[in-house]
A = this chain, B = another copy of it.
Amino acid sequence: MSGHRAGPHFLQIPGPSNVPGRILRAIERPTIDHRGPMFQELAKTVLAKIKPIFKTTNPVIIFPSSGTGAWEAALVNTLSPGDRVLMVETGQFSTLWVELATRIGLDPEVIPGDWRRGVPPEVVDERLSRDPEHRIKAVCVVHNETSTGATSRIAEVRSAIDRAKHPALFLVDTISGLASADYRHDEWGVDVTITGSQKGLMLPPGLGFNAVSDKAIAASKTAKTSRSYWDWGAQLGQNPSGNFPYTPATNLLYGLNEACDMLMDEGLDNVFARHERHAEATRRAVRHWGLEIQCEDAREYSPVLTGVVMPDGHDADAVRRVILENFDMSLGAGLGKVKGRMFRIGHLGDFNDLLLCGTLAGCEMGLRMAGVPIQTGGVQMAMDYLTGNA
C-alpha cells in the first residue's frame, strides 16, 4: 500500500469514529498546568457539560483510559471479590466483559444469547425472581453491542429489575451508544454507565467514563475489591474543585469540551434522529443487496452500526480487504465467533448523508468486486429513503 492516496480515508468502523477537524484542532492546543486555575476552570466546565450527555445530574468520572478501563472501574468500585453478577451474552463485547469480571475475582452468571438480539428483559426478570436471597449483586448489560449492531432496551431491563423487586446494581455499558443512541442514566435508573471517548463523543480514544448513581456511590464505600487507579473516592473528592487525583489527559479534555458544545449545538434529539435515519437507510441498502442484517429484532436495530451477514461461502474479511484496497475505507470485522461471517458498517459520530452514500457505495462496489452475489441498487434505495426523509 505504498504511495499517497488521494482524498480522506473513510473510517466506517463502529468506533473509533471519524474525529472532526474542530475537535482535532481543540486537542492540538498546548498542554497546560493541570494544577493551575486555567485547567481547573476547564475541568469544572467539562465535568458539568458532560452530564446532560448522559442525561444525569449526578457526577460523571473521567479516567485517562480506554473503555475497557471504564468497564473495570465500574466493577471494582461497586463489587467485592466473589460477588455474583448477572451478565447477558449479546455479542463479543458482553463476552469480554464477562472475562474481565472473572479475572478480577467476580462470579459472573451469564444468560446465553445468539448474538442476534439485545438483552431479553423478560429473562432478566425471570432470573432475578429466582434470587430471593439477592445473591446477585449486579446486573451488567451492554446497551449498544458493537460487535453485532443490536441495541438493548435499557428502560425495559430496568423495569424487569423493578418488577423482580431486586436490589441489584444496574451497570450499563454504552461505550458505543452514548451520544448516538438515546440514553438516560437518571430516568432509566442506571447505577453505573460506562463509556469511552472514541464513538459518539467523536474524540480519539483515551478517555473512559463512569456516570454514577447515589446507590453506586454508596456501594463503592463498602465494596472490597482492591483498587487504586480506578478508585472513585479520590475523583469524587477532587473533581468539584477542578482537580483529578493524578495527571489527567488534558488535551483530550480540550476535545471533550468541544464535543459537548457540538452535540448540544446540533441538539441531542437531532443527533439521535440523524443516526436513526442513517441506520434505516443503511438497512434498506443491505436488504436490497439481498444480504441479512445481523440483528434480528427490529426493536433493537442499532442506530450506530449495521452488521451485515455474508452468504455462505463468502469471507467477510476478504470483502473488507477489497474495500480497503480499492476504496480506502475501513469497515468493522466480525469478531469472535462471527469472524469472517459478517462485517460491520459504522454510521456514527461526525457523519452526514453524503458520507453515508459514499460509504454504502464503497460497500456495494466492494461486494461486487469481491464476487459476492448481490443485487445492485442498494445505494439507490438508501438515497430514495434519504430523499423522502430529508
CA distance A250 to B16 in the complex (A): 10
Does chain B have a CB within 8 A of A362? yes
Question: Which of B8, B252, B390 meets A355, CB within 8 Å?
Answer: B8
Does chain B have a CB within 8 A of A361? yes
Taking CB atoms, residues of chain B closer than 8 Å to A105 are 226
Q: A206-B249, A362-B357, A387-B368 are in contact. Are A271 and B31 (CB under 8 A)?
A: no
Restricting to A1-39, which residues have a CB under 8 Å from any CB of B? 1, 3-11, 13, 16, 18-21, 24-25, 27-38
Q: A25-B29, A247-B66 are in contact. Are A227 and B357 (CB under 8 A)?
A: no
Does chain B have a CB within 8 A of A204? yes
Q: Once the chains bind, are A249 and B5 in contact (CB under 8 Å)?
A: no
Q: Once the chains bind, are A228 and B103 in contact (CB under 8 Å)?
A: yes
Question: Which of B18, B266, B326, B361 meets A358, CB within 8 Å?
Answer: B361
Residue of B nearest to A365 (CB): B387
Q: Once the chains bind, are B250 and A204 in contact (CB under 8 Å)?
A: yes
CA distance A68 to B204 in the complex (A): 21
Give the Cβ gap from A380 to chain B, nearest Cβ, in Å: 6
User: Can you list 5 A-B pairs, Cβ within 8 angstroms, ordered by A?
Assistant: A6-B266, A8-B21, A21-B29, A104-B228, A377-B380
Interface residues of A, Cβ cutoff 8 Å to B: 1, 3-11, 13, 16, 18-21, 24-25, 27-38, 64-69, 72, 81, 100, 103-105, 196, 198, 204-206, 226-229, 231, 245-252, 261-262, 265-267, 270-271, 274, 324, 326-330, 333, 349-359, 361-362, 364-365, 368-369, 376-377, 379-380, 383-384, 386-387, 390
Known: A64-B69, A205-B247, A205-B248. 12 other contacts (CB 8 A): A6-B349, A7-B354, A11-B31, A104-B228, A205-B250, A249-B249, A327-B353, A353-B361, A353-B362, A355-B358, A365-B383, A377-B380
